[in-house]
C-alpha cells in the first residue's frame, strides 16, 4: 500500500509526546536519584524516543543499544526474538532501564529483560513510548508507559512502515481514506 496516498490520522502529536516525555523523565529522575542508571535503547524503533527521553532525565547515566529481530517487513510478530546486537558493557552494579518504542505482544521486551538479567545488574525495568496491552502474548507490564493505545498499526517517531517514516515527528495510523 502506498501510504502517501492515504489520510494519516495523528494518534500522538509532537506536543503530546514532548509533554509526556518530560513527565516520564521527571518520574525516572526521581526514581533513580540514588541509583546507577544504565539506559538500554532497543534499535531501531526506540532511537527517537530514547534520544528525547534521556535528555529529560536529570541524572548522570550511561546509554547503550541493542538490536533484536522484530516484525521486519510483516505486521505480525514471528513469536521468536533473536538478539542481533548485544550491549558491550558488564551491568554489575547498574540499574537498567530498557527503552523501546512499543510493547505489543511483549515478546521483545520480555526476552530482552531476561537476557539483561543474566548480566548481573541491580535491577532491570522497562519504559515504552506506546503500549498495546490488548495484543499481549506474555505476562509483561512495562514500568513506564508513555501512551496506552488501541490495537492499530502505528507509524512515526521511530516506528517504521516498511523501512520508512521513522523520521515523522508524531505517531500516526494510516486510514482507509484517500487523500
- Catalytic sites, residue numbers: 104
Confirm or reject binding of residue 70 to Mg ion (CB under 5 A): yes
Residue 25's binding partner among Mg ion, ligand 5GP, none (Cβ under 5 to 8 angstroms by kind) is none
Q: List binders of Mg ion among 30-49 (CB under 5 A).
A: 45
Confirm or reject binding of residue 105 to Mg ion (CB under 5 A): no
Residue 92 CA to residue 106 CA, distance in Å, equals 25
Residue whose CB is less far from Mg ion, 71 or 170: 71
- 46 is written with which cell numbers? 526506540
Residue 154's binding partner among Mg ion, ligand 5GP, none (Cβ under 5 to 8 angstroms by kind) is ligand 5GP
Residue 159's binding partner among ligand 5GP, Mg ion, none (Cβ under 5 to 8 angstroms by kind) is ligand 5GP
Confirm or reject binding of residue 100 to ligand 5GP (CB under 6 A): yes
Q: In sequence order, what DSSP letters do the residues of the chain get, joined into one string?
A: --GGGEEEEEEE-HHHHHHHHHHHHHHHHHHTTTS-EEEEEEETTTHHHHHHHHTT--S--EEEEEEE---TTSSS--S---EEE---S--TT-EEEEEEEEESSSHHHHHHHHHHHTT--SEEEEEEEEE-GGG--S----SEEEEE--S--EEBTTB-BTTB-TT-SSEEEEEEEE-
| Binding pattern for the stretch 71-90 against ligand 5GP, x by CB under 6 A and - elsewhere | x-----x-------------
| Binding pattern for the stretch 17-36 against ligand 5GP, x by CB under 6 A and - elsewhere | --------------------
Rule CB under 6 A: which residues touch ligand 5GP?
45, 70-71, 77, 100-108, 153-155, 159-160
Contact set with Mg ion (CB under 5 A):
45, 70
Amino acid at each position: 500500500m502506498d501510504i502517501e496516498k492515504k489520510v494519516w490520522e495523528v494518534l500522538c502529536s509532537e506536543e503530546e509526546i514532548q509533554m509526556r516525555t518530560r513527565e516520564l523523565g521527571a518520574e525516572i529522575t526521581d526514581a533513580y536519584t540514588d541509583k546507577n542508571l544504565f539506559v538500554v535503547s532497543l534499535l531501531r524503533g526506540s532511537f527517537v524516543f530514547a534520544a528525547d527521553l534521556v535528555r529529560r532525565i536529570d541524572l548522570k547515566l550511561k546509554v547503550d543499544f541493542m538490536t533484536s529481530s522484530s516484525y521486519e517487513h510483516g505486521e505480525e510478530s514471528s513469536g521468536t526474538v533473536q538478539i542481533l546486537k548485544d550491549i558491550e558493557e558488564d551491568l554489575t552494579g547498574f540499574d537498567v532501564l530498557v527503552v523501546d518504542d512499543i510493547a505489543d505482544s511483549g515478546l521483545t521486551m520480555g526476552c530482552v529483560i531476561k537476557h539483561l538479567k543474566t548480566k548481573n545488574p541491580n535491577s532491570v525495568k522497562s519504559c515504552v513510548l506506546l503500549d498495546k496491552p490488548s495484543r499481549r502474548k506474555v505476562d509483561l507490564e512495562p514500568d513506564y508507559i508513555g501512551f496506552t493505545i488501541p490495537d492499530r498499526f502505528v507509524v512515526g517517531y521511530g516506528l517504521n512502515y516498511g523501512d520508512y517514516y521513522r523520521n515523522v515527528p508524531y505517531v500516526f495510523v494510516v486510514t482507509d481514506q484517500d487523500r
